[in-house]
Structure 1
Amino acid sequence: MLRNLFALALLAASAALLWVSFSGEQPPPASVPVEPESVDWYPQRDWPDSAPATGKVSVFIFRDRNRDGILDSGDLPMASVAVALERPDGSYRTRRSNINGYTNFTVQAGGTGEDITEPGASYRWTVQVPPGWTITTTNGEQQASFRPLGGTPAGMVTDTPPAVVGLAPELTATGSFPALPDTPLVASASDGTAVKATTDASGRFELTLSPGAWTIRRADAKQALRRFTVKDAPVQLAAGAREPGTTGREPRWVDFEVLDRAIIEKLPMGYAGLGWDYLLAIDNQHYRGPGYVNVLTSGRTVGYNSSGYPVTITGLAPGERFDFEGGYFAVAWPQAEGEILEVEGWRGGEPVYRDELTLSFLGPSWLAADYRDIDRLVLRTRHYWQFSCDDLVFGVTPPPLNPALPK
């Protein structure tokens, strides 16, 4: 009984102490009630007396797909292109374009750590052109000076901000005819243009071409060795001489525009009439890797090999055959520039096609495969980095009772 009374007394004393501690002089409330009419909810800025903060000026880099030197609706932003800024003291600041194509430089009049700080001085931007690319807008170097202007975010502005810069890859067609070493070749376009080349001792060749349909033949023969089309990316022809031919299969374009649940999806069995393993569809900007952005050729979704592991593509039924026409491929990350994509076409448990494609994160290359009557396609990177891809083309035989398979 005494113990209970003691406990009650202790609780009462504690409550009294808390009441003394939190009563009396209370801290002011977080907000003081005011009459709304007494507040200027939309004040104008005091322009002359505004202190400068940090602003930005950007060089926008785009992939000029039609090579006309103009930012057209079909052109795309280009990620991770280096731009160097030469400052008045002779020092340099270098930045890379982000996933939306913008190369951002900081500006503040009188600043200390910003890229551009000195009013009246000259600043010069120079795009560092990647190997195998050219500038189509003829403005790889641009120059500007800044003048003070109170009230602006950075305290100074330029009347000549950098213009957009377009880049395009050299349009080459490479390949090999192992049975034709040291052999003169002629590539002919539909408009009558002819380009000559000679294979090396191993039968390899490289041609610099323009967009259009092309046919390669021996210089002393009329029979076509390969037929292919050049669009806006370099082309690698699968090894060997072969006519495209027809197998009566329906073409299916795999553009990966299947995302309806999340920004990343595993390709389901039956998509485009094929079976899929380890190939995923993803929004091109989700991972922020430049190779996911730069491989894009349509829509906004691309494909990649999950965790860098090999991809296997098959028919829906065991042994069912299909064709692989080709696709656009890149490597996802700058650290893997020059990664090798190994491509194999199998039939009846035996490899019948094998090719290698050197990948870049800066843009896609088209692999003109023309693999016919295969039952398994394997795509793997030699060092297990992620490749990215878009607009793969297959030929499939749809099941007769299900003609509405997704395309």
Structure 2
Amino acid sequence: MTVPPLVRGWCPDMFAPMEARDGYLVRIRSPLGGFEGQQVLAIAELARRFGNGVVELTNRGNVQLRGFSSTSAKLALESALAEGLVDPDPAKERRRAILVSPLAGLDPACNPETLDVAQSLQTALLEENALSALSGKFGWAVDGGGYVPEGTLSADIALQSRPDGWSVVCGAMETGVLDNARAVRAAVVMSRICAENSDLGRPSRDADTAAFVLAKGGLEGIPCKPQGTRPVSLIGPLPGKVMGVGVPFGRCHAKDFEILAELAGTSRLRITPWRSVLLPQQDGTWPGFITSSVDPLLRVEACIGRAGCAKATADVVGTALALASDVPPGCVLHVSGCIKGCAHPRAADMTLVADDGHYEVVRNGRTTDTPSWHGRDIPQIRALLRHELKETQV
């Protein structure tokens, strides 16, 4: 088997590990309906045997493993292929980047055809070899609405449920309502146009791209309605006789991941974009996991920090833990080790960017936005949280 060379600075997967301070990291994309129990156990074994044992849940609903050497990453790929965790074709594997409503097929209010449409879209994308030219960060979504409202899932191209069909959302524009087959075809056409025009920015990042893509594809488009930005937390009892269990900062050990497989039983383990997993409803408490929807840890986001990232300059997890109880319900504090903002690419009520022992502080923005305050320490940030975010709640 020929193994592609290791890649630095790319959106990582099993074929393209990314180098970090604690070794190479890899990602495994979730199947459309979630991981089977045996697959969860296989992932835990990959983390323990070839990496440093850390299992992370990403904001695309995938799994990330850390601490690989260049040799062990190649061995892990061979094992992942044998377990059916990845597609044997690296290009097709990248085209499996489809985010699906986490409660699809469970929530009665979610479009009942969501999983079928997602499967049709994936099949169509895998057949389009020209889409290999797309950025590895390019992603799709099938958003069936319901308990998790339409527009909550983030993607470059998304199929959003409507009362009479689906609209295809491309950046800030969307088509009219289409039936299942036409919506899938429209999404593929838009994707092909993005692939053929490499100078275009991704639709989710470039406002001009969407208008060009729809016009080029002969599709009528209208501006999307503004979407709500309320935090989403799938924790506790949920529709469909399931429950959400949170993983603090989306990070656990392989043994904890195995516990989740045992709790899932014969059901598939679904990973949400909000660093939680869906399990059959059951009684019990599990130390180390979040089971209450009002847990303060749900109000903070943090990357691995300097423990695993060469660009980070602070123990951001420690900072987030110290400040979590100061963040009011309904608000989000993002603590980032560097300006990349990997843990929470969207705007937060307050964003902290580590800067040699202190933090730059952004109000209502992202890591790349202009800071409102400079060089703040934890006591000063605590005071800002209590003043600024308390005012938000009034």
TM class, shorter-chain normalised? under 0.3
TM score, norm. by length of structure 1: 0.25
TM score, norm. by length of structure 2: 0.25
For the pair shown, which has the larger CA radius of gyration, 1 or 2? Answer: 1
Which protein is richer in helix relative to its size?
2
